[in-house]
Amino acid sequence: RLLRRIEAGDSAVLISTMGVAGDCGTDHPLPFFTGSWDDWARLIHTQSNYNEALRSRVVTRGPRCPVVSDYVNCMAGCMGVNNSELLPPFLPIQRGEELVFGVLVNRCVPNALFGAIPRAILHVPPEARHFDVDAAISYSGKFTAAETMAHLLEAEAVRGASRSARMQSMGNRLKELSDLSERDFAEYVTGLMRESLASLIQRLNATIHRPCQHPRFWLNDVLRIRDAHLAMYLNRDHSVPVDLEREFGTVGARSHLKALVAQFAALIQSWPALVEAAGVLDSKGTTMCSRPFE
């Protein structure tokens, strides 16, 4: 895909990101368990190192050299966006909206490339933060609303040569999903998210069966996390995002997700026309909003 975009001759880096040093900005250390073996080799060198890694949210994360790719996972601690031409909208609510934005750019802008530079922005919250005990187990096999939306966007077929046409196509597909009965909607989303879970379980199994000596304290945790993922694969209704479930309960969370998909579909469909109208007003000198920084 990267080669196809480069060969087209009109590719451009539209999203540029930096790394982060300090608080990782996530609620659990699950990404540690699906990371590279080189990372793990450092974390499990001693049990004290390992225990501190599962407690501390402090990381240094970023590329070692400038990177250009067809997709880089967006985390908007420090992100540059080239919006000189039409780009899709952000998901207006929930955490992880930049993840959804990155997927939309990847799917709706045919020539989009992503960049990352070997610099990190310092993230030091005013209060000290730590992962909860067994946070990795608590979040195993569960997805947030933004993660679910990103998977829905990645799975849908998108057609059209232009950015606006592809946004219309994506919006239409999301609307079709939101028009399903609640039962059919739940079955579709759960099946889709189980595919992602299966991939995570395979990666955990590959790590477990790596031909080298594993510290017992680490192996026990990886096995517990793998089993927790498997239990959620078999038993959880993944049309119930974990963040919405905390606020609205099981039934309410599913209804809220379905409504969110419908409303975001309408926003994506309307976005090209909204941006065009805003450009017309701007050309006439009409102020769209206050500008407190000028």
Question: Nearest 5°: phi and psi at 244?
Answer: -70, -35
Write phi, then psi, for 119 (nearest 5 degrees).
Answer: -135, 160
C-alpha 255: how far from its chain's center? 21
Q: What is the distance in angstroms between the CA of the first residue and the CA of the last residue of the chain?
A: 41
Measured in whole angstroms, how far is the alpha carbon of residue 266 from the centre of its chain? 21
What are the strands, taking DSSP E only, across 57-202? 58-61, 67-69, 79-81, 112-123
Residue among 269, 266, 26, 2 nearest 147 (CA): 26
Q: What is the pLDDT of residue 81?
A: 94
Q: Report how far residue 202's alpha carbon sits from residue 194's, in angstroms, rounded to the nearest whole number.
A: 12
Does an H or E element contain 265, and which?
helix 242-283
What are the tens digits of pLDDT across the range 125-180?
A: 998 899 988 888 999 999 999 999 999 999 988 999 899 999 999 999 999 999 99
Q: Give the mean pLDDT of the chain.
A: 90
Mean pLDDT of 116-122: 93
229-268 residue pLDDT tens: 999 999 999 999 999 999 999 999 999 999 999 999 999 9
The pLDDT score that the predictor gives to residue 292 is 58
Helix (H, G, I), strand (E, B) or coil at 132: coil
Q: Are 77 and 18 in contact (CB under 8 A)?
A: yes
- Position 68, amino acid: V
**What's the pLDDT at 266?**
97
Is the full-model pTM beyond 0.95? Answer: no
